[in-house]
Structure 1
């Protein structure tokens, strides 16, 4: 168990950027690097959980796959944080530390915000879900209002009113048609005229009867001249009443025919209007249903962020809690870089001095090795040059020796007597004939070329 803990601690120290060779010589720095490695693992764990929540909320994927994505993101964050730590070597200069720390702290803050946001949304998940329902209802109402204002459905209210009016006309047999107001007014006028004529006729009849009885008028009973005149006026008025009644009957008949025609026209147009209303209403309902289906499933990451902002705007307590929670997660992310920055301002530890010493020693050893390799390479090149010069000198001496031997042989041939037994021999060469010498020189040159073309190891002196 102790060995296992030691291996885990060594792994954490290496993760924090410690060099095992230097750490072995300065074991006092081990605890610091183990703590830094633990902080790096903590940030990686937060990044893992944050990305898993974000992938699950945004894409709705299966939890094991979301955890796998979170694991990859956690490794990336740990690697970035380790790069930030390793890149900040110990340096007591304030200016250089600030120049190195500012971009690293900025990057750490960005990572902290990215990691903290999904975790914060998960903490306030119930409140966000409630707010999302409200937002979806508002969006549904807004879309319904936009459909009402759409040019395709703008005449729906007018169409509904026309259908209601046509139904009323058909149900009343045409009497509810406002277009027949003139006809109905004519009937009313004829009825008023008939009533007036009837009243006048009754008055004249009463006057004639009164003259007949002698109770009024002249006061003489019987069928006198006054009675005859009164009766004649009453009979004339009766004819007027008959004419007015006939005119009223004609007006009523015309109005009834107009109402019948209006009911027929309303019934014929009612079917077309109903079909158009059904089509437009169905299309409007389909659009609204499609939007509602999309709106119901739109609770993604962006909407959750918007819901969290709305909650924070309305509720100051929630906004403060959100800020503090985000600040906590960002502090955990920035903590390794801040610790490294603070350690740089402290005096160099034994580990720092040993690391610098090892680095200088490695550089010096590498410089010595480079100088030694350079010296050996120069010596080898000089040796090869000397061997090549010696080989060329030997070849020159061999060529000269062969040339002298050829000249001596050619001179001996020219001085020796020709045999008597030989038949016409070849004519003796003249002294200036250099044919054999040129032949020997050509052969020697060819041998020299073949020797030069040999491999370098064949030209090394034995």
Structure 2
């Protein structure tokens, strides 16, 4: 049954082949070649659909089988349609279009298989390209005029948020407050030194510049007066510092209200720009993650071939191999036509001639029948017309 199927692919009549059993293996081989070529095409189409459309495997297999059937039909048509011609030029004109079509089909079939064989190397190259494209994208995004105001707006929002939050640290950074604080700290340091000197004089300790005499003497009174003056200076500086902080706080309250109003004005614009930038980035990365279809794989394979001579050689060897597989049916038929006619071909020609003579005889017989019927119709019409004239004359 299977051998009958293979012979039917090549268009062989088994009733004639039984008379030429020596040719049976040849035509079975040709049928097997046609079937193998269709299977390779089905596998290639399955790979192509998976790569290009990311289709599920059952759907890809269904499309692959359909493509294999189509290739089988085309190859069968080309093989059956190739007959011996009188003269080399007629043979060449008959064979050339079929070879061109076979080459085109072979290129289409072999490309997905070659891509699948180099899949690991291609995936690695695609990741390299995606990383490079991501770097280029970030650079272009940073220089995009539509989003160049984002860093300035972010800085401005941070400053306004600090002011609007009434952070005590902002008051401490006020120039007037810092100046008053420095003056107060200096006066406090002087007070500490004066208090230490007073303690040394009254206790009679051997401190620097002290008399070392215990009790309240002239030196102790002078030290007490110095401490008192230092305390008065500290009190004055404390009043100035408190006033500077109060003034700074009042100014910060006013600034906080203004900052809050300004923040409400520029925050929506910053949010809009950020959302647009993030949406653009999400869209780019979604496209980048899906950029591993047939075109991207071919570009990656081209890059690998340019960088590695060994991959380039292997790529074209594989491509030529699968191309040759697709060309096999036509080449096999051409080789058969270049030799002497086989016994099956001679028997088939005789059968065709016999069928043609029989068909010609049937056609001639049918033509004679039609001619006779026309003559009979003409005679009947003549007799009817003569009878009408006789009736009219009476």
Q: TM-score, normalised by structure 2?
A: 0.71
Structure 1 counterpart SS, 2:135 = helix
Q: Which has the larger radius of gyration?
A: 1
Q: Distance in 2 between matches of 1:176 and 1:304?
A: 60
Of the candidates 9, 27, 32, which is equivalent to residue 33 of structure 1?
27
1:58-73 to 2 correspondences below 5 Å: 58-73=52-67
1:86-165 to 2 correspondences below 5 Å: 86-91=80-85, 93-160=87-154, 162=156
Using a 3 Å threshold, how does the CA distance of structure 1 residues 42 and 267 change in structure 2: closer, same or farther?
Answer: farther
Residue 38 of structure 2 contacts residue 71 of structure 2 at CA under 8 Å; is this kept in 1? Answer: yes
Q: Distance in 1 between matches of 2:275 and 2:42?
A: 48
What's the counterpart of residue 78 of structure 1? 72
Structure 1 counterpart SS, 2:99 = helix
1:324-343 to 2 correspondences below 5 Å: 324-343=317-336
Residue 36 of structure 1 contacts residue 336 of structure 1 at CA under 8 Å; is this kept in 2? Answer: yes
C-alpha displacement at 1:278, in angstroms? 4.5
What's the counterpart of residue 364 of structure 1? 357
Q: Residue 382 in 1 paired to residue 392 in 2?
A: no
What's the counterpart of residue 353 of structure 1? 346
Using a 3 Å threshold, how does the CA distance of structure 1 residues 94 and 263 change in structure 2: closer, same or farther?
Answer: farther
Residue 174 of structure 1 contacts residue 263 of structure 1 at CA under 8 Å; is this kept in 2? Answer: no
Q: Distance in 2 between matches of 1:396 and 1:119?
A: 86
String of CA shifts for 1:310-359, please: whole Å, max 9, x gaps. 22222221121111111111000001111111211111122222222222
1:181-330 to 2 correspondences below 5 Å: 265=255, 268-269=258-259, 271=263, 276-330=269-323
Residue 173 of structure 1 contacts residue 259 of structure 1 at CA under 8 Å; is this kept in 2? Answer: no
RMSD over equivalenced CA pairs, Å: 3.5
Q: Distance in 1 between matches of 2:346 and 2:387?
A: 61
Residue 92 of structure 1 contacts residue 345 of structure 1 at CA under 8 Å; is this kept in 2? Answer: no
Q: Distance in 2 between matches of 1:102 and 1:260?
A: 96
What's the counterpart of residue 244 of structure 1? none
Q: Distance in 1 between matches of 2:142 and 2:287?
A: 19
Q: Distance in 2 between matches of 1:385 and 1:283?
A: 91
Runs (4+) of structure 1 exceeding 6 A deviation are 164-172, 174-177, 256-260, 394-397
What's the counterpart of residue 206 of structure 2? none
What's the counterpart of residue 366 of structure 2? 373
Residue 161 of structure 2 contacts residue 259 of structure 2 at CA under 8 Å; is this kept in 1? Answer: no
Structure 2 counterpart SS, 1:25 = coil
Equivalenced residues, count: 326
Using a 3 Å threshold, how does the CA distance of structure 1 residues 274 and 384 change in structure 2: closer, same or farther?
Answer: closer
Q: Distance in 1 between matches of 2:74 and 2:379?
A: 57
String of CA shifts for 1:129-154, please: whole Å, max 9, x gaps. 22222222233333323322222212
Q: Distance in 2 between matches of 1:42 and 1:154?
A: 60
Using a 3 Å threshold, how does the CA distance of structure 1 residues 259 and 393 change in structure 2: closer, same or farther?
Answer: closer
Unaligned runs of at least 5 residues, structure 2: 180-242
Q: Distance in 2 between matches of 1:51 and 1:37?
A: 21
